[in-house]
Amino acid sequence: MAAEKRRVLVTGGAGFIGSHLADAYLDRGDEVWVVDDLSSGRRSNVPDDAEFVEMDVRDDELRNLFREVRFDLVNHHAAQIDVRVSVNDPRKDASINLLGLLNICEGALEVGTRRLVFVSSGGVVYGEPEEVPTPESAPKLPLSPYGVTKLTGELYLNYYRMVRGLEYVALRYSNVYGPRQDPHGEAGVVAIFSNRLLHDESLTIFGDGEQTRDYVFVRDIVSANLLASDLLQDEDGDDDATGLDRVAYNVGTGVGTSVNRLADALESIAGCRPGREYRGERPGELRHSTLDTTRLRAQGWAPRFSLEEGLRETYQHIADQGGTIGGGEVPSRSSTGAEEEA
């Protein structure tokens, strides 16, 4: 697949990660279509050379788009990603994340699409892991409806692969950050801290700040997606991986970073230390989440950007926007979600 010019559909391609992927597929020489309902993505993120279709992935018209274009590859990033939304409205979460996926799978099968790249989540499908860094083979015990839909999505895709012949690769992301990031995503704390530092405002941290996450830069996520797009079917997985894990890969750095260290790094980049406000620990929050990426590294991928490099580029992007996030205006303190994300 790598040597051919492909017709590529990027769902959620107006969003933070999806728009970077649309850029990357175009740079590779592919033809790119972006489907996004703009509920969270921004039209300005879509590259000029991509064909943009404003549409919900659950829409019946999506099947007509498949028939018209006959995509070679689908990269499925459109999703409801807010854990809190999933808890408050599990039906909405399931409708978008499962019915949308099924609509895409049926469209792909009808026109002979060769590969689907599916975004799963290493931060939620494993629940509170016993092993850190956590490998793909760890027990799957999601503790939120969002995690349940991501795992269920992998199960559906396993059915489509085994019974109906649709090739797929699932990428289980750790916490992604970078330019164009919205503060309400999984790693929104980076954007939130950056904006507050740009305005010389104190940082809010829950608990002691020693909880850790695996922060991976968006450019490294892009390279993982390009690799997953080109893997031949008989290259997927290895002899030790079984079931869902054979075609699933963790994507992260393998290094846990505490909230305190993240704040230290961003304060150093910003050149200011306006102070920190520590609040009570939030119930149910994972203490540590870091992914073992050995299997993806064996396929030739490795993160190229250090945390400091990625944070510096992200901070500079937000500063260049005049203290805005992803091209939009800075929300007020009450609406940034800083208290929920930091």
**Count of domains for the chain:** 2
Task: Give the rounded percent of residues in the chain with a pLDDT score beyond 70.
Answer: 89
**Among candidate residues 194, 224, 251, the one where a domain is terminated:** 251
- pLDDT (0 to 100) of residue 84: 86
**In a domain? residue 1:** no
Task: Give the C-alpha separation, 43 to 20, whole Å.
Answer: 13
- pLDDT (0 to 100) of residue 342: 35
Residue 56 and residue 100 in contact, taking contact as beta carbons nearer than 8 Å: yes
Q: Are residues 319 and 241 in the same domain?
A: no
Q: Are residues 108 and 191 in the same domain?
A: no
**In a domain? residue 59:** yes
Q: Which domain holds residue 77?
A: 7-175+216-251
Residue pLDDT, tens place only, 297-306: 999 999 999 9
The CATH number that applies at residue 192 is: 3.90.25.10
The CATH number that applies at residue 45 is: 3.40.50.720
Residue pLDDT, tens place only, 119-148: 999 989 998 898 999 999 999 999 999 999
**In a domain? residue 222:** yes
Q: Is residue 146 among the annotated active site residues? A: yes
Predicted confidence (pLDDT) at residue 28 exceeds the cutoff of 90? yes
- pLDDT (0 to 100) of residue 79: 96
**In a domain? residue 2:** no
Phi-psi region of 143 (alpha: psi -120 to 50; beta: other; left: phi over 0): alpha
Q: What pTM, to 2 d.p., does this model score?
A: 0.91
CA angle, residues 121, 238, 133, in degrees to nearest 5? 40
Could you say which of 25, 126, 146, 173 is catalytic?
A: 146
**Among candidate residues 251, 277, 308, the one where a domain is terminated:** 251
Q: Are residues 159 and 276 in the same domain?
A: no
Predicted confidence (pLDDT) at residue 1 exceeds the cutoff of 60? no
Q: Are residues 242 and 304 in the same domain?
A: no
Q: Are residues 76 and 158 in the same domain?
A: yes
- pLDDT (0 to 100) of residue 341: 37
* DSSP code of residue 334: G
